């Protein structure tokens, strides 16, 4: 029997929360109702708001304030700490509006990937990236407000409850072979390289490929921090372009932070550092209007990075990797960093590439465990894929 945590503000949504809890119990799940209401009180729940609030670093008094925004933020912090301290969370379901969704999903993101998470929300039909982040939260639009039971809300909440019940009461079939997992990063313009790396390693490793779209890099590093991968082949570091130049696929300032924190075996490269990502061409910022732009598809416009921008990225990446105490190799593909950075292609710019490579070399600090390697290949050449595998195999074997 799986234990399902039902979370919401019981001071305003007690009827709906108890409805979901009862359906979960009827479906065979051990349901626990957790109140995160920001007003203290004695309500029909299994874990009271006072109990949750007591997990705030400043105690319950730091949560129950007259300022609703401050109270919600403080309760979110308390719930994160409460959930992180539990070892019996087999699944979690939340109900809420915008404030409740922000409060509950922050705690959901603390749970390991694979623990079922369902958020029924009034804002689930919009941009859910701030709520989901790098986690595997399933967002379900509530259709009507989460404000009472009616012919619509009973169906939506019932479906959500039964979905979670199915997740927590059924086991996932075991994987075959017990191969250790490794993380790899890929973009469309580095796909040939990563596919070759996977072909070379899949008999030995369970290869987890992440799309380098910001949340992809964050998701991979969340698994690194969680100890769920044995190493990383970070072929495609393109998210650094978007971080430094204001593109739409940034993974944030903490990109590569998990590598430094964990000391995990790491082999990286310059994949797709020739491009910054924007949306449709009419969304490209005005200051970039005269740049070398390439319409990848109607929703994605790529901008070629300049020599100055590449020098900034080289310095940034070198500083991040210099902070790593674990085994690190960073491979430079002198023949080009993407499918469209090759002779005859729209982003071919040897001068810009040289600025990147030279900045990496200038700021790099060699150490017994850390090496920068130049290779006379394009990133998608078979020889480069083989070199990535060889260096990874070498540092892991140590």
- Number of domain units in the chain: 2
What pLDDT does residue 366 have? 93
Residues 38 and 35: their CA atoms lie apart, in Å, by: 9
244 vs 177 pLDDT, higher one? 244
User: Would you say the C-alpha torsion 6, 7, 10, 12 has a positive or negative sign?
Assistant: negative
User: Would you say the C-alpha torsion 126, 209, 384, 232 has a positive or negative sign?
Assistant: positive
What pLDDT does residue 176 have? 59
Q: Indicate whether 205 belongs to any domain.
A: yes
What pLDDT does residue 54 have? 95
What pLDDT does residue 177 have? 67
Residues 133 and 207 in one domain: no
- Neighbour-count burial for 221-250, b at 16+ CB within 10 Å, e otherwise: bbbbbeeebbbbbbbbbbbbbbbbbebebb
Residues 222 and 320 in one domain: yes
Q: Indicate whether 176 belongs to any domain.
A: no
The mean per-residue pLDDT over the stretch 82-87 comes to 94
What pLDDT does residue 398 have? 82
Q: Which string of DSSP letters, residue by residue, matches 312-324? A: HHHHHHHHHHHT-
The mean per-residue pLDDT over the stretch 136-162 comes to 95
169-210 pLDDT tens trace: 998 887 756 899 999 999 999 999 999 999 999 999 999 999
Residues 31 and 139 in one domain: yes
Say yes or no to pLDDT of 68 above 90.
no
The mean per-residue pLDDT over the stretch 354-376 comes to 97
CATH of the domain at 30: 3.40.50.12020
Q: Indicate whether 174 belongs to any domain.
A: no
Q: What is the mean pLDDT of the chain?
A: 95
Residues 238 and 220: their CA atoms lie apart, in Å, by: 14
Residues 305 and 282 in one domain: yes
Residues 190 and 337 in one domain: yes
270-297 pLDDT tens trace: 999 999 999 999 999 999 999 999 998 8
Say yes or no to pLDDT of 264 above 80.
yes
Residues 12 and 19: their CA atoms lie apart, in Å, by: 14
Selection from 335, 336, 329, 337 nearest residue 238 by Cα: 337
The mean per-residue pLDDT over the stretch 318-323 comes to 98
Q: Indicate whether 175 belongs to any domain.
A: no
Binned at pLDDT 50, 70 and 90, residue 219 comes out as very high
Q: Indicate whether 64 belongs to any domain.
A: yes
Say yes or no to pLDDT of 373 above 70.
yes
Which one of 145, 169, 193 terminates a domain? 169
Residues 265 and 224: their CA atoms lie apart, in Å, by: 10
Residues 143 and 272 in one domain: no
Contact 102, 122 (CB under 8 A): no
% of the chain with per-residue pLDDT over 70 = 99
Q: Which string of DSSP letters, residue by residue, matches 207-256? A: EEEEE-SSHHHHHHHHHHHTT--S-EEE---THHHHHHHT-S----TTTT
What pLDDT does residue 69 have? 86
Residues 338 and 20: their CA atoms lie apart, in Å, by: 49
Contact 106, 79 (CB under 8 A): yes
Contact 121, 131 (CB under 8 A): yes
Full domain range(s) for residue 370: 181-397
What pLDDT does residue 1 have? 62
Residues 133 and 61 in one domain: yes
Kindly state the helix (H) or strand (E) to which residue 127 belongs, with its residue range.
Answer: none
CATH of the domain at 260: 3.40.50.12030
Residues 145 and 185 in one domain: no
Kindly state the helix (H) or strand (E) to which residue 341 belongs, with its residue range.
Answer: none
- Map residue 35 onto helix, strand or coil: strand
Selection from 326, 311, 219 nearest residue 267 by Cα: 326
Q: Indicate whether 258 belongs to any domain.
A: yes
Residues 191 and 85: their CA atoms lie apart, in Å, by: 40
Residues 150 and 258 in one domain: no
Binned at pLDDT 50, 70 and 90, residue 41 comes out as confident
């Amino acid at each position: 029997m799986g234990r399902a945590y039902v979370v919401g503000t019981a001071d305003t949504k007690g009827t709906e929360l108890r409805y979901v809890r009862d359906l979960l119990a009827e479906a065979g799940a051990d349901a626990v109702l957790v109140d995160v209401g920001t007003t203290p009180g004695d309500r029909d729940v299994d874990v009271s708001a006072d109990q949750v609030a007591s997990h705030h670093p400043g105690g319950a008094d730091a949560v129950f304030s007259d300022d609703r925004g401050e109270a919600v933020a403080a309760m979110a912090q308390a719930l994160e700490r409460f959930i992180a301290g539990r070892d019996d969370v087999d699944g979690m379901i939340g109900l809420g509006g915008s404030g409740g969704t922000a409060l509950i999903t922050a705690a959901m993101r603390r749970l390991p990937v694979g623990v079922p998470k369902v958020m029924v929300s009034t804002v689930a039909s919009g941009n859910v990236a701030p709520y989901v982040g790098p986690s595997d939260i399933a967002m379900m639009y509530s259709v009507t407000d989460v404000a009472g039971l009616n012919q619509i809300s009973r169906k939506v909440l019932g479906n959500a409850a039964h979905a979670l019940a199915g997740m927590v009461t059924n086991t996932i079939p075991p994987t075959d072979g017990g191969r250790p997992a490794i993380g790899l990063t890929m973009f469309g313009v580095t796909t040939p390289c990563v596919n070759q790396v996977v072909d070379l390693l899949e008999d030995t490793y369970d290869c987890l490929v992440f799309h380098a779209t910001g949340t992809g890099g964050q998701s991979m590093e969340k698994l690194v921090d969680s100890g769920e991968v044995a190493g990383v082949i970070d072929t495609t570091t393109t998210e650094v372009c978007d971080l430094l130049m204001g593109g739409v696929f940034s993974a944030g300032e903490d990109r590569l932070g998990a590598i430094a924190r964990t000391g995990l075996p790491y082999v990286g490269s310059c994949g797709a550092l020739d491009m910054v990502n924007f949306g449709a061409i009419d969304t490209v910022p005005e200051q970039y209007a005269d740049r070398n732009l390439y319409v990848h598809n109607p929703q994605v416009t790529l901008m070629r990075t300049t020599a100055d921008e590449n020098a900034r990225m080289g310095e940034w990446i070198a500083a991040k990797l210099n902070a790593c105490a674990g085994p690190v190799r960073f491979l430079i593909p002198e023949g080009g960093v993407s499918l469209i950075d090759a002779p005859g292609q729209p982003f071919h710019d040897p001068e810009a590439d040289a600025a990147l490579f030279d900045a990496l070399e200038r700021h790099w600090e060699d150490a017994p465990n850390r090496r920068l390697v130049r290779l006379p290949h394009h990133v998608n050449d078979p020889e480069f894929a083989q070199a990535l595998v060889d260096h990874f195999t070498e540092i892991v074997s140590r």
